[in-house]
Amino acid sequence: MTQLTDLTIADIATALHKGETTAVALAEAHLARMETHRGLNAFITETPDRALDMARASDARRAKGEAGPLEGVPLAIKDLFCTEGTRTTAASRILENFVPPYESTVSANLWRAGAVMLGKTNLDEFAMGSSNMTSHFGPVENPWKRAGDNRKLVPGGSSGGSAAAVAAYMAPGATGTDTGGSIRQPAAFCGIVGLKPTYGRCSRWGIVAFASSLDQAGPFARTVRDTALLLQAMAGHDPRDSTSAPIAVPDFAAACAGDVKGLKVGIPREYRVEGMAPEIEALWSRGVAMLKDAGAVPVDVSLPHTKSALATYYIVAPAECSSNLARYDGVRFGLRVEGKDLQSMYENTRGAGFGAEVRRRILMGTYVLSAGYYDAYYKKAQQVRALIARDFTQAFERCDVLLTPTAPTPAFAAGEKMDDPVTMYLNDLFTVPASMAGLPGISLPGGLSADGLPLGLQLVGRAFDEETVLRAASALEKAVGFGGRAAGY
Amino acid sequence: MAIDVDTVTKIARLARLNVPEGDKLRLASELSGIFGWIEQLNAVDTTGIDPLSSVSAVLLPFRDDKVTDGGIAERILANAPGGAVYLDPDAPGTGGFFTVPKVVE
């Protein structure tokens, strides 16, 4: 038998069902690998005791014939999901010692399906970043390196720890959250699959809020089918999140088996941006050709407001962030830094508790929402957001799914894009528009760059049509035949 | 739109965020750069377009106006950074308080 840590989630289900291994053995194997590769800094908190307790309980349930759909599957959880009794930090100093008295709906759903928690993964502070460089607990290292170049690369962000953990085989799957690309971009940088569902598909209850009109939880795994299996358990209506959709969850794994004959794949011409790296353009063309060979029909479509999406995002997301993060005031939970009076206690707590990028975004959001600027910035951004959403609606009158690159570049080295915030923001160029419209998107490996780094292809679907996204992604995955693995992992 | 040090001071105050004097000039320049880039939105014609505040597929649901939980004061106060004070220390479920620095003389 192959190493336990090499198994996919689907493989694990089969092996456990056949009695070839146990949940405890799987948890132990993955925990050992987490220890070996601790240098990547993928985890903020490892939870070996909780993992082994959950694994023992899982084996007991299986013995009684009560196995759930993810029974015994070890998972890594982004440290933005509240886990009852286990520290949840959002990678911020302000929540460094926060132990939630409740469990997020998404993680509770996973545990109800039988999954086992390995630990809490690192991220950009409050999920604000595209490199995992803004974590209070230090950066995460991408398991991949450029050929012949030993420099450490970023895993992408914000869900960089989850992506690195799955890419380094420390976990077969992980949870992430995506506000402007925080699942899809790190999946692309780490050579794995990351799925952002439709806004409203997964409950946001118990997930530390960043930008509430955009935040959405989703899975990482090494195959498209595994992300479908995870989403199946994560999704579903939750009365505690008023934006959670009260609609049935379809059979996502079944959708992976369908073919793409006659499927209309939209190729948005505005994504062919000036200065796009030739290898990204070539990757995209290969993706189109592969889907065409599988029977799909490429369709040229237009999303005219694409180039406005990033600037719109950097009004809407900071505005929501400044409101959401107002709760960290040193009174009810989190860090407190004393001051001479109540006002200075608030200011000292927040000044010391938040890192540079979070402080910058709070100031941006406060500015755009402040008297005299609201109409010029926030209202304008919401109007442009309406146009961006309308572009997608019109494009989906002519096609069933969209194919684009996930990111404009492969993973970059730590510090390479740190000089100017706008340069860093450009990383999310191809992922932000679908977020603004609340649409489902997946990133899967499309090949390697000239210097040996994984490149991602993105598929975007209609709202609540993850099935078509998964169907097209499965066909593309088969055609690509990636099988890439970071050297040494 | 250039953002100056006074504006940084004002919005930092609104955000209850302590920003060291020495950081304000750099922040003003960074924010000016970001908002300069954001100005591109002025070129987008949004005449007659209703602002989109939510992409949620559902209207906000209503529920009955009744108490659905309670008696968990201890859990709510468990992370209080200033410590908690209970109405009745022998029965913490009955309620308690977060503590803040003295605000009245």
pLDDT tens string A12-39: 999 999 999 999 999 999 999 999 999 9
Query: CB neighbours of A219 closer than 8 A, spacing ≥ 6?
Result: A173, A174, A175, A176, A194, A195, A226, A227, A230, A231, A234
* CB atoms inside a 10 Å sphere around CB A3: 9
Within-domain flag for B64 = no
What is the distance in angstroms between the Cα of B84 and the nearest Cα belonging to chain A?
9
- Has A285 been annotated as catalytic? no
Q: What is the mean pLDDT of residues B12-31?
A: 96
Q: Do A128 and A27 have their domain in common?
A: yes
Contact status, residue A486 vs residue A168, Cβ threshold 8 Å = yes
- Has A182 been annotated as catalytic? yes
Virtual torsion, Cα B29, B34, B40, B41, nearest 10 deg: -130
* CB atoms inside a 10 Å sphere around CB A128: 29
Give SS3 for A41. coil
In sequence order, the β-bridge partners of residue A216 are A178
Q: Do A328 and A254 have their domain in common?
A: no
Within-domain flag for A469 = no
Confidence check: pLDDT of A424 > 90: no
Q: What is the mean pLDDT of residues A431-451?
A: 97
Q: Which of A103, A104, A98, A94 is nearest to A128 (CA)?
A: A94
Phi, psi values for residue A125, rounded to 5°: -55, 125
Confidence check: pLDDT of B22 > 90: yes
The CA–CA distances, whole Å, from A277 to A63, A67, A404, A412, A455 equal 54, 48, 14, 14, 12
Q: Do A354 and A223 have their domain in common?
A: no
**Angstrom distance (rounded) from CA A98 to CA A82:** 9
Report how many domains make up chain A.
Answer: 2
**What is the sign, positive or negative, of the torsion defined by CA atoms of A338, A339, A344, A347?**
negative
Longest dimension (CA), chain A: 70
What is the distance in angstroms between the Cα of A110 and the nearest Cα belonging to chain B?
23
Within-domain flag for B25 = yes
Within-domain flag for B88 = yes
Q: Are A243 and B75 inside 8 Å of each other by CB?
A: no
Virtual torsion, Cα A236, A241, A244, A249, nearest 10 deg: 0
Chain B residues touching A236 at Cβ < 8 A: none
Within-domain flag for A232 = yes
Residue of A nearest to B61 (CA): A242
Q: CATH code at A45?
A: 3.90.1300.10
Q: Do A13 and A150 have their domain in common?
A: yes
Within-domain flag for A69 = yes
Among A194, A227, A258, the domain boundary falls at: A258
Within-domain flag for B30 = yes
Instruction: Write down the residue that tokens 């994560």 correspond to.
Output: A234
Within-domain flag for A451 = no
Residue A406: DSSP 8-state: S
- Has A242 been annotated as catalytic? no
- The per-residue pLDDT for B55 is 87
Token pair listed for A78: 């982004």
In this structure, are strands A264-268 and A216-221 parallel, antiparallel, or unpaired?
unpaired
**Angstrom distance (rounded) from CA A417 to CA A419:** 6
Token pair listed for A403: 């194919």
**Nearest CB neighbour to B46, from listed A345, A380, A421:** A380
* CB atoms inside a 10 Å sphere around CB B47: 5
Residue A138: domain span: 4-258
Among A343, A360, A383, the domain boundary falls at: A383
Phi, psi values for residue A216, rounded to 5°: -155, 135
Candidate list A78, A120, A196, A417, residue with the active-site label? A78
Token pair listed for B94: 């009955």
Token pair listed for B50: 């209703």
Residue B76: domain span: 70-99
- The per-residue pLDDT for A417 is 66
**Nearest CB neighbour to B55, from listed A315, A341, A389:** A389
Least confident of A32-36, B42-46, B64-68: B64-68
Q: What is the mean pLDDT of residues A335-354?
A: 96
Q: What is the DSSP string of A359-403?
A: HHHHHHHHHHHSTTTHIIIIIHHHHHHHHHHHHHHHHTTT-SEEE
Within-domain flag for B83 = yes
Confidence check: pLDDT of A1 > 60: no
Q: Do A342 and A211 have their domain in common?
A: no
Contact status, residue A401 vs residue A265, Cβ threshold 8 Å = yes
In this structure, are strands A401-405 and A264-268 parallel, antiparallel, or unpaired?
parallel
Question: Does residue A284 sit at the B interface (CB-CB below 8 Å)?
Answer: no
Contact status, residue A449 vs residue A455, Cβ threshold 8 Å = yes
- Residue B24 burial by CB count (10 A; 0-12/13-18/19+): exposed, middle or buried? middle
**What is the sign, positive or negative, of the torsion defined by CA atoms of A80, A82, A87, A89?**
positive
Confidence check: pLDDT of A67 > 90: yes
Within-domain flag for B105 = no
Chain A residues touching B54 at Cβ < 8 A: 213, 243
Residue A220: DSSP 8-state: E
Confidence check: pLDDT of A418 > 90: no
Contact status, residue A443 vs residue A187, Cβ threshold 8 Å = yes
Give the mean pLDDT of chain B.
91
Report how many domains make up chain B.
Answer: 2
Give A372 or A226, the one with higher predicted confidence: A226
Q: Which of A192, A51, A73, A177 is nearest to A123 (CA)?
A: A177
Within-domain flag for B86 = yes
Within-domain flag for B60 = no
Q: What is the mean pLDDT of residues A34-52?
A: 98
Mutation site for B-interface testing, chosen from A363, A420, A460, A462 by largest number of B Cβ within 10 Å = A363
- The per-residue pLDDT for B63 is 86
What is the distance in angstroms between the CA of the first residue and the CA of the last residue of chain A? 18
